[in-house]
Each structure stands twice: as C-alpha cells, then as structure tokens.
Structure 1
Amino acid sequence: MREAMACFGTGLTVITGITDDGPVGFTLQAFSSLSLEPPLISLNVSRSSTSWPEIVGSGRFVVNVLAEQHEELALAFAKRGTDRFEDVEWTTGRSGLPHLSGCIAWIECEVVALYEGGDHTIAVGGVLELILGEDRRPLIFFDRGFRKLA
C-alpha cells in the first residue's frame, strides 16, 4: 500500500488552529477539494495525531497551502513533541486563526462533519474564507520526498 501511494504526488499543507494555550498545527498531505456548491474541503487525518483533537475542539482551522520554499516548515510541523511555532513566521487572520507566512493560499474552514476511515478520521470542512498568496509555486510530495515543479 505504501509503495503504491508513494506514486501519487500531492501538494503539502499545514493545518493550523488556535486553542486557549495558543496556536497548534501539523503537516498534512491528504487534503482535497470536496465540493464547489457549497464550498467544502476534506482532510484525512491520522488518528494518532495529537494536534487534530485540539483543533476539532475549537471547531475551526486553516489549511495553509505550502509553497516550494517551505520544506523546513513541512518538516517542523511533522515533528512530534516540539513547539512547532517556534521560529516560524505567522500572522493572525481576520478570524483570529494562525496563517503561516509565504503560503500559496490560506483556506479558513469550520468543521462540519467527521467520519471514521480506518486508522484516519475523514474531516469535512466548510470553507469560510479563501485567501490567495502571491507565490504560486507549490511544494510537492512524491515518492517519499519533496519535489518542485519544473
């Protein structure tokens, strides 16, 4: 299964949210558009994630779509047991949610549904706001490594 799925290239995102203790976030590649009317997205989040339950508790999150220069950011937000926001540039969007600097896009969502999917949770987010960045060159993950478009 891992070998076959490594053949599918995807963009990379960092999902961020805010809790009473501050910002939280994690790297996620299993993100997709789900519906245009109404605007919905879907995430497939590992059930072992410790950040996702905190984000779900707040009911809202941001999909930060990573640009090609964000390899270190993707790695930092994939590590467990660290302050992922340490030394990371970010701002607060109009909603009060954390936006990582330099992203291709920021998609602010509310949690509208959660489904069981094996060892993952399938989350549906209702899009509240879409913000496009100036840089439009994505960071791609393919065959277990970072790639850039030619």
Structure 2
Amino acid sequence: MPHLQLDEFAARFRDAMAAVCTPVAVITAMDGERPHGTTVSAFSSLSMSPPSVLVSLDRGSDLLALALESRTFGMNVLGREQSILAAQFARKGKDKFQDVLWSVDHTVPRIADVPHWIAAEVMETVEIADHTVVFGRVVAVQSEAIPPLTYHSRGFGTHAAI
C-alpha cells in the first residue's frame, strides 16, 4: 500500500471507527456543588471480580480532572430514546445539565431515567496517546431492560436483535 499522508490516514481511521457500533454513556463527576458530564462511546465493563469498568477520556478533559480529584465518577448509559441527552452532553460548555433532571448518588451526578447507572471509585489510570483510561471499581449499580442508544456511522440509533 502506498504511503498515506497523515491527515488522509487519520481520516481513514476515523471513518473505520465510525463504522463500529458502540453504546453511548454520559460520564459524570461533581465540581463542588455543580454537576459536570460528557458523552463518551469509549467505555466498557472490565471485570466481575471486583466489579469494574473503564472509560477513556481526553487528557485535556475537565471531567477527567474532576474524576481524578474526587476519585469517583458516574456512568449513565443511555437508552434508545435519549439521543438528545447524548448530543447535549457532547457539546462544549458548562450548562450541559440545563433542563436535565439529576441527583447526587454515591457522590456522583446520576441522570434521571437512564436505563443503566453505575457509580465507580477510581482504581487506576493509564495514559495512552492523547487519552487517559480510567479504571473504576463499581460501588453502586442500577439497570433496567431498555434497548440501548448506539452510535454508528456518525448517527444515533439502537440495537435490533436478528
């Protein structure tokens, strides 16, 4: 294969990753009395013993700094009807929680009516490229059988069993 220019290679990589269907979550942490959150698709369960999860956050992320400072974060996994929430928390700005029902649960912001919610304590972090992978021990969880919100080909949708 001929040598690709860096920006062309990055575009091909971005297009390839856009073709991968991923679940969508809003990761949350507290900034004093103010909630903070950001939409992610790079998260996963990690282990059952102890129950643990991981999330990848940009090194420059305000949310990453808050999670590392407080040593806790929330994982609000969105359902198929919550694409507006996903878009709201994906944008820049400090008013992402405007008109969003939420409460503090296990010291982290919990968004009302999400089908899957996890509170986690930071166990460890690993810096890779321009992101930090945060490993968290699950301290609380609530889950309902609601189809997930997914991100695929730069758009929101849901999973349908075949």
TM-score (norm 1): 0.92
Aligned to 1:86: 98
Q: Is the radius of gyration larger for structure 1 or structure 2?
A: 2
Q: How many residues align?
A: 148
Higher helix share: 2
Aligned to 1:121: 132
Output one character per residue of 1:116-137: Cα deviation in whole Å (capped at 9) or x when no partner. 110111110011111113x511
Task: Give the superposition deviation at 1:115.
Answer: 0.5
Name stretches of at least 5 consecutive residues in structure 2 with no aligned partner: 1-12
Q: CA RMSD in A?
A: 1.3
Aligned to 2:56: 44
Aligned to 1:146: 156
Task: Give the superposition deviation at 1:50.
Answer: 2.0
Residues in 2 aligned to 1:21 and 1:52: alpha-carbon distance in whole angstroms: 17
Residues in 2 aligned to 1:36 and 1:75: alpha-carbon distance in whole angstroms: 31
Equivalent positions of 1:42-121 (< 5 A) are 42-93=54-105, 95-121=106-132
Secondary structure, aligned partner of 1:77: helix
Output one character per residue of 1:88-132: Cα deviation in whole Å (capped at 9) or x when no partner. 111222x23211111111111001101111011111001111111
Name stretches of at least 5 consecutive residues in structure 1 with no aligned partner: none
Deviates more, 1:24-33 or 1:84-93: 84-93
Task: Give the superposition deviation at 1:21.
Answer: 4.0
* 1:23 paired to 2:35: yes
Residues in 2 aligned to 1:44 and 1:97: alpha-carbon distance in whole angstroms: 18
- Aligned sequence identity (%): 36
- Given that residues 52 and 136 in structure 2 are in contact (C-alpha distance below 8 angstroms), is that contact kept between their aligned partners in structure 1? yes
- Given that residues 19 and 55 in structure 1 are in contact (C-alpha distance below 8 angstroms), is that contact kept between their aligned partners in structure 2? no
Give the alignment partner of residue 136 of structure 1, picking from 104, 122, 146: 146
Output one character per residue of 1:46-72: Cα deviation in whole Å (capped at 9) or x when no partner. 123222212221111110000111111
